[in-house]
């Protein structure tokens, strides 16, 4: 049975709405491509360390994650005063839009005022549905809650006691790239030479992850084998996001590339790189990922499946669960339970949403977004700042076009979800009177994304006062 509908909505002035849209477009504009300037700066800077370095400075005080370029409009709305009254009937706006045949026969909805946590509209909001990639909101929230926004994922090199061998150890960082791998090799070479070694055997250790490496959907251009050691998500082309040809053995390829880089740095590699275990010793060298806040934003902006699975496994490790699909599912659920969210019927069989067995409700998604808007939970804020901006960034860059019914560009920020027969959208919208609403619309048994996606866009644009 569908839930009783509750609703409130305010129709602000057209002039104020246009002003808010202009401001949001200014800060969310296409100039940054959905990536934070801070993230680019960090990516360009060396992130490795070896034993030859001087002692590191004392750690800086923890910082809050810097917001994405489009965040000011969203974060300002968190503190907007509550309006005196709401004249429009939200249900009168949403019910006809939810009846769009493009959404198929199964559709649920939840709209929540983030300032109060009150549900303004609900249609089957507690019904578990296949979420597709909107499950990444849950994956990211669990990782941030369990580990904090400053957590980084390491890749290390450790020498055997006799110095005759070194082991490259994967910590689960799919964002490791050739530049960082080279810096890691250079640091390793310097450390080895300082110990008087110029010839070593090379092993690589992927034992951090357990269980099957292949996602249940099997070999697929949407995701590489889920292993603890890889470079550029196992991509075999020049792409940085989206589908791409993938290597069948990302760890072996990374170890081979590392061996070549060590050779160029003056270290002879004897034999072929082979799987092995990490010696019990302090690492010779190390490279760390960007902070978790940055990784979450990248995951959400570009719907990064490989990174989402890595976040789920980092959560498993934080909960002392096996870093596997099953261990990650338990850890994510346990962490979301700590956040007191509605989890009846929820399933997290993967972290990316590629698995059709995943189940979440619209109420769970809006609950997660509302938690992220809570001033008392700043660690969850990247859930908001990482959402794609309608008409400008990530997976929403090509949506919310010139059709007046979907002209919410710059005002809607949302995570998309698309599988065959499944289309979803969950995020936030700034209303014409400056309020921040969280919404989730889930549709199943849809005929075509070409019909379902515009229908979802019209629903979220209506919340911005566009209809």
Distance CA 241, CA 233 (A): 9
* Angle, CA 129 vertex, CA 127 and CA 131 arms, to 5°: 135
**Catalytic pick from 70, 110, 133, 324?**
133
Q: Are 253 and 234 in contact (CB under 8 A)?
A: yes
* CATH H-level superfamily of 14-52+65-150+293-463: DD-peptidase/beta-lactamase superfamily (3.40.710.10)
Q: How far apart are CA 125 and CA 141, in angstroms?
A: 20
44 or 141: which leads in pLDDT = 141
Tally Cβ neighbours within 10 Å of residue 158.
22
pLDDT category of residue 402 using cuts at 50, 70 and 90: low
Spell out the domain ranges in the chain.
14-52+65-150+293-463, 154-289
> Which residue is catalytic, options 110, 145, 289, 303?
303
End-to-end CA separation in angstroms for the chain: 28
**pLDDT per position as a tens digit, 135-162:** 999 999 999 999 999 999 999 999 999 9
SS3 50: strand
Q: Which of 184, 176, 137, 213 is nearest to 43 (CA)?
A: 176
Tokens of 103: 């959404």
- For the chain, give the percent of residues with pLDDT over 90: 75
Residue 85: count of CB within 10 angstroms of its CB: 7
pLDDT at 44 over 50: no
**Structure confidence at residue 52 (pLDDT):** 36
pTM for this one? 0.83
- 14 has a pLDDT exceeding 60: no
Nearest by Cα to 382 from 390, 393, 371:
371
What confidence tens digit (pLDDT) does each residue in 256-281 have?
Answer: 999 999 999 999 999 999 999 999 99
List the one residue out of 168, 389, 453 whose CA is nearest residue 284.
168
* 235-263 per-position pLDDT tens digit: 999 999 999 999 999 999 999 999 999 99
For residues 24-53, average pLDDT: 35
pLDDT score at 56: 39
For residue 31, is pLDDT > 80? no
- Rounded to an integer, the average pLDDT of 4-22 is 37
Catalytic residue among 110, 136, 361, 460: 136
pLDDT at 58 over 90: no
Residues 43-56 have a mean pLDDT of 36
Q: Which of 258, 156, 155, 284 is nearest to 202 (CA)?
A: 258
CA 319, CA 327: separation in Å to the nearest integer?
A: 9
Class assignment of domain 154-289? alpha beta
How do residues 340-397 score in pLDDT, each as one tens digit?
999 999 999 999 999 999 999 999 999 999 999 999 999 999 999 999 999 999 999 9
Q: Please tell me the least confidently modeled range out of 75-79, 166-170, 402-406.
A: 75-79
Q: What tens digit of pLDDT does each residue of 368-384 get?
A: 999 999 999 999 999 99
Residues in the chain: 467
The answer to whether domain 14-52+65-150+293-463 and domain 154-289 are alike in fold is no
How far apart (Å, rounded) are the C-alpha atoms in residues 358 and 130? 6
Per-residue pLDDT, 356 = 97
Active site residue 324: no
pLDDT tens track for 89-135: 789 999 999 999 999 999 999 999 999 999 999 999 999 999 999 99
Quick check: is 133 catalytic?
yes
Does 136 qualify as catalytic in the annotation? yes
pLDDT tens digits for range 61-99: 444 444 444 455 455 544 444 443 343 478 999 999 999
């Amino acid at each position: 049975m569908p839930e009783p509908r509750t609703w409130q909505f305010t129709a602000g002035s057209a002039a104020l709405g246009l002003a808010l849209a202009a401001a949001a477009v200014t800060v969310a504009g296409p100039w940054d491509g959905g990536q934070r300037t801070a993230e680019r700066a960090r990516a360009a800077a060396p992130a490795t360390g070896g034993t030859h370095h001087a002692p590191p400075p004392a750690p800086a005080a923890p910082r809050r994650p810097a917001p994405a370029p489009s965040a000011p409009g969203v974060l300002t709305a968190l503190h907007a005063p509550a309006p005196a009254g709401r004249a429009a009937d939200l249900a009168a706006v949403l019910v006809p839009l939810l009846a769009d045949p493009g959404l198929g026969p199964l559709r649920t909805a939840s709209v929540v005022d983030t300032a109060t946590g009150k549900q303004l509209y609900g249609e089957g909001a507690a019904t578990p549905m296949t979420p597709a990639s909107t499950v990444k909101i849950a994956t990211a929230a669990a990782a941030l809650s369990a580990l904090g926004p400053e957590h980084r994922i390491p890749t290390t090199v450790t020498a055997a006691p006799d110095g005759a061998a070194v082991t490259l150890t994967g910590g689960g960082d799919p964002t490791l790239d050739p530049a960082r791998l080279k810096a890691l090799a250079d640091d390793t070479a310097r450390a080895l030479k300082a110990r008087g070694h110029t010839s070593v055997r090379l092993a690589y250790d992927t034992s951090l992850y357990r269980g099957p490496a292949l996602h249940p959907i099997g070999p697929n251009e949407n995701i590489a084998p889920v292993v603890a050691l890889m470079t550029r998500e196992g991509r075999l082309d020049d792409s940085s996001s989206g589908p791409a040809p993938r290597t069948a053995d990302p760890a072996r390829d990374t170890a081979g590339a590392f061996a070549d880089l060590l050779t160029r740095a003056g270290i002879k590699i004897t034999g072929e790189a082979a799987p092995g275990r990490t010696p019990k010793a302090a690492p010779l060298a190390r490279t760390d990922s960007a902070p978790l806040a940055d990784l979450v934003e990248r995951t959400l902006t570009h719907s990064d499946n490989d990174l989402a699975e890595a976040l789920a496994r980092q959560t498993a490790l934080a909960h002392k669960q096996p870093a596997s699909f099953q261990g990650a599912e338990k850890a994510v659920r346990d962490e979301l339970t700590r956040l007191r969210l509605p989890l009846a019927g929820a399933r997290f069989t993967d972290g990316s949403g590629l698995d059709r067995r995943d189940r979440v409700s619209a109420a769970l998604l809006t609950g997660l977004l509302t938690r992220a808007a809570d001033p008392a939970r700043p660690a969850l804020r990247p859930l908001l700042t990482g959402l794609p901006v309608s008409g400008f960034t990530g997976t929403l860059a090509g949506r919310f076009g010139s059709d007046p019914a979907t002209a919410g560009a710059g005002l809607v920020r949302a995570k998309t979800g698309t599988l065959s027969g499944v289309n979803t959208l969950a995020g936030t919208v700034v209303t014409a009177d400056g309020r921040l609403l969280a919404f989730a619309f889930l549709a199943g048994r849809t005929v075509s994304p070409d019909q379902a996606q515009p229908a979802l866009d019209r629903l979220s644009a209506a919340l911005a006062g566009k209809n």
